């Protein structure tokens, strides 16, 4: 019981930290190299096929406490004309008293810089819905919170507009993006008590992403790809993820990652067929939070149709 109460307190503090006037951060992914469209619109069309990906992330599981962070993502993208590609991304992010929904349309234009090197320039537009209800903190509890201090934001709409650049070959990629460059403030619009002076605020901040990776050919059946992603947002610590993956026999991917001062991760991917890939990841916290949960996990499924560009003779796992 003591640990459960402490976990509730930790979750509440995290939620309040994320949705005050301080920086609000986008969802974090361990398998970002496969889910790049969610943070960089220029990734659209880069695989030269119609590509669909569904991803689920469950963070801090195993503590029997409702409200731990969960993320659901579905995206698709494809070339539609010469040098032009479109993508669509939907994300549902839940953490304790907050729920966020993102719906984005992505556009990218390809510049052929060399025989193998291409630069995609991308734009993103869409909608963001923010839902905050402090009563979720007390669901199932005997003692309810103070009605005068309740926070309620009912699916507040705000527009999204982002941009990105993505350079890639069959072995290397480098991306820079800001998924949303518009800052919006969301105020507590109502409460149980109409005379309440509650004025809780959630403010979106610009998240900047820089990512890169390179695939080395160890031999015909083994490839090695180190990669990294950094996320910078005003008012929050710099986030750095470093990963290393091995591609074995063009079918099996095995790797590990380290999130600076946050977690270590293990990853595995299975190319079930030419069209279908399954990936899983497990994170273990390196902070005090590890005492109150069993870690986090992700699972994704990617399905692709149509023939790939024949120039891409080296299998890409990004």
First to last CA, the chain: 44
User: Under DSSP, is residue 159 helix (H, G, I), strand (E, B) or coil?
Assistant: strand
Average pLDDT (90-111) is 93
Say if residue 226 is exposed, middle or buried (CB neighbours under 10 Å; 0-12, 13-18, 19+).
Answer: middle
Share of the chain above pLDDT 70, in %: 77
Q: What is the pLDDT of residue 276?
A: 94
User: How far apart, in whole angstroms, are the C-alpha atoms of residue 151 and residue 141?
Assistant: 17
* 306 vs 3, residue with greater confidence: 306
* 252 vs 142, residue with greater confidence: 252
Q: What is the pTM (predicted TM-score) of this model?
A: 0.83
- 149: pLDDT confidence band, cut at 50, 70 and 90? low
Per the listing, tokens 């390196």 go with 286
Contacts of 183 (CB under 8 A, 6+ apart): 203, 204, 205, 206
Q: What is the pLDDT of residue 311?
A: 44
Distances (CA, A) of 106 to 26, 34, 81, 85, 169: 17, 16, 14, 8, 21
Asked if residue 60 has pLDDT above 80, the reply is: yes
H or E stretch at 11:
helix 2-18
27 in Cβ contact with 56 (< 8 Å): no
User: CATH code for 27-182+271-305?
Assistant: 2.40.160
């Amino acid at each position: 019981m003591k640990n459960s109460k402490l976990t509730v307190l930790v979750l509440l503090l995290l939620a309040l930290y994320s949705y005050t006037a301080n920086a609000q951060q986008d969802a974090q992914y361990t398998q970002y190299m496969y889910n790049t469209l969610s943070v960089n619109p220029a990734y659209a069309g880069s695989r030269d096929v119609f590509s669909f990906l569904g991803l689920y992330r469950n963070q801090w599981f195993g503590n029997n406490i409702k409200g731990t962070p969960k993320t659901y993502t579905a995206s698709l993208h494809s070339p539609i004309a010469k040098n032009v590609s479109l993508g669509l991304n939907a994300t549902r992010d839940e953490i304790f008293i907050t729920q966020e929904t993102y719906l984005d349309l992505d556009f990218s234009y390809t510049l052929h810089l060399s025989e193998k090197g291409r630069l995609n320039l991308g734009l993103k537009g869409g909608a963001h819905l923010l839902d905050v209800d402090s009563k979720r903190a007390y669901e199932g509890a005997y003692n309810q919170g103070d009605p005068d201090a309740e926070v309620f934001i009912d699916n507040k709409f705000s527009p999204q507009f982002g941009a990105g650049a993505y350079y890639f070959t069959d072995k290397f990629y480098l991306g820079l993006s800001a998924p949303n460059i518009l800052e919006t403030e969301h105020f507590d619009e109502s409460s149980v008590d109409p005379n309440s002076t509650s004025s809780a605020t959630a403010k979106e901040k610009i998240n900047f992403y820089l990512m890169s990776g390179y695939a080395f050919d160890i031999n015909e059946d083994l490839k090695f790809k180190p990669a990294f992603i950094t996320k910078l947002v005003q008012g929050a610590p710099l986030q750095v993820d470093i990963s290393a993956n091995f591609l074995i026999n063009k079918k099996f991917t095995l790797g590990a990652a380290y999130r600076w001062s946050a977690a270590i991760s293990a990853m595995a991917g299975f190319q079930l067929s030419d069209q279908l890939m399954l990936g899983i990841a497990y994170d273990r916290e390196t902070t005090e939070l590890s005492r109150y949960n069993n870690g986090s996990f992700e699972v994704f499924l990617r399905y692709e149709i149509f023939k790939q560009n024949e120039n891409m003779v080296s299998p890409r796992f990004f």
